[in-house]
Structure 1
Amino acid sequence: MLKEFKEFALKGNMVDLAIGVIIGGAFGGLVNSIVTDIITPIIGLITGGIDFSNMFIQLSGQPQSTLSAARTAGATIAYGNFLTLLINFLIIAWVLFLVVKLMNSLKRQQEAAPAPELPRDQVLLTEIRDLLAKQQQK
């Protein structure tokens, strides 16, 4: 059973999948940082200082000034956090779209590329073969 598991775990697809998951996790952290540290402050500056991280609707308890205090006080809808995650998702979806588009473009170019020419001796041998095949049919 250990041998079978080793064969399964070391198959090319499993290793590729593991690498993809690791790179995807790192990419997600990078996008999160870009949104949190760069895009959100720029949007806040353009819209007059809106801070997405502190946007919430408190459903119960006394009104609070910060999201963490509101969550401690009771039920809270953190729609600012949702907006940040939505921006993260849109960026990741856009980048994945661009990657797939690039891969499809490369695949089409590869398929459209002319087949490499055969060396002269192989062309002659093919012609001789075809002539011999015609003579045998007669």
Structure 2
Amino acid sequence: MIGEFRSFIAKGNVIDLAVGIIIGGAFTGIVNSLVNDVIMPVVSVVVGGIDFSNYFLPLKSTVTATTLEAAKAQGAVFAYGKFLTVVINFVILAWIIFLMVKGVNKIRVHEDKKPAEATPAPPPADVQLLTEIRDILKTK
């Protein structure tokens, strides 16, 4: 059983998947920072200084707080501002992945268009004839 597990782990696909997951986790942090620290403040300024993270609808009449954390402490809330931020994260991440795949495909097409290594042209007839004569003289 240990041998089977070792051969399973040693396969290239498993290692590639692990590397992809690790890089994806790091990439998610970058995209979250891009959205939360760069894009959302700009969007907030454009729409009049609104902070999306505190957008919520109280589901109980007892919720009177103006910030999301305080409202959650008072009761149930529908926090659509955080959802909006997550949707923006997803769209940005999908766009970046699309651009990366498009770039890789462009490189692959460029690599496919490269001519194969040229095979040398056969020598002219007179050179070929002289080579045959030389080979015959060597055998005598």
**TM-score interval, smaller chain:** 0.7 to 0.9
User: How far apart are 1:90 and its partner, in Å?
Assistant: 0.7
**Secondary structure at the residue paired with 2:83?**
helix
Matching residue of 1:6:
6
What are the superposed Cα offsets for residues 2-57 of structure 1, whole Å, 9 maximum, x if unpaired? Answer: 11101101211100000000000100011001111111111111211100111111
Matching residue of 1:64:
65
**Secondary structure at the residue paired with 1:63?**
coil
Instruction: Tell me how far apart the structure 2 counterparts of residues 119 and 2 of structure 1 sit (CA, whole Å).
Output: 53
User: How far apart are 1:62 and its partner, in Å?
Assistant: 2.6
The answer to whether 1:54 aligns with 2:76 is no
Instruction: Tell me how far apart the structure 2 counterparts of residues 14 and 113 of structure 1 sit (CA, whole Å).
Output: 32
Matching residue of 2:23:
23
What are the superposed Cα offsets for residues 109-134 of structure 1, whole Å, 9 maximum, x if unpaired? Answer: 122221111245xx56xxxxxxxxxx
Matching residue of 1:136:
none
Percent identity of equivalent pairs: 49
Matching residue of 2:117:
116
Matching residue of 1:88:
89
Instruction: Tell me how far apart the structure 2 counterparts of residues 15 and 94 of structure 1 sit (CA, whole Å).
Output: 26
Q: CA RMSD in A?
A: 1.6
Aligned residues: 123
Instruction: Tell me how far apart the structure 2 counterparts of residues 116 and 71 of structure 1 sit (CA, whole Å).
Output: 67
Task: After superposing the two structures, state which structure 1 stretch, 111-120 or 56-65, moved more.
Answer: 111-120
TM-score of the superposed pair, with normalisation by structure 1: 0.83
- Unpaired runs of at least 5, structure 2: 124-140
Matching residue of 1:128:
none
Matching residue of 2:135:
none
Counterpart residue identity of residue 48, structure 1? G
Runs of 4+ deviating beyond 4 Å: none
User: How far apart are 1:83 and its partner, in Å?
Assistant: 1.0
Instruction: Tell me how far apart the structure 2 counterparts of residues 41 and 103 of structure 1 sit (CA, whole Å).
Output: 32
In terms of Rg, which structure is larger? 2
What are the superposed Cα offsets for residues 70-100 of structure 1, whole Å, 9 maximum, x if unpaired? Answer: 1122221111101111110011000110111
Instruction: Tell me how far apart the structure 2 counterparts of residues 25 and 101 of structure 1 sit (CA, whole Å).
Output: 21
Instruction: Tell me how far apart the structure 2 counterparts of residues 71 and 10 of structure 1 sit (CA, whole Å).
Output: 47
- Unpaired runs of at least 5, structure 1: 125-138
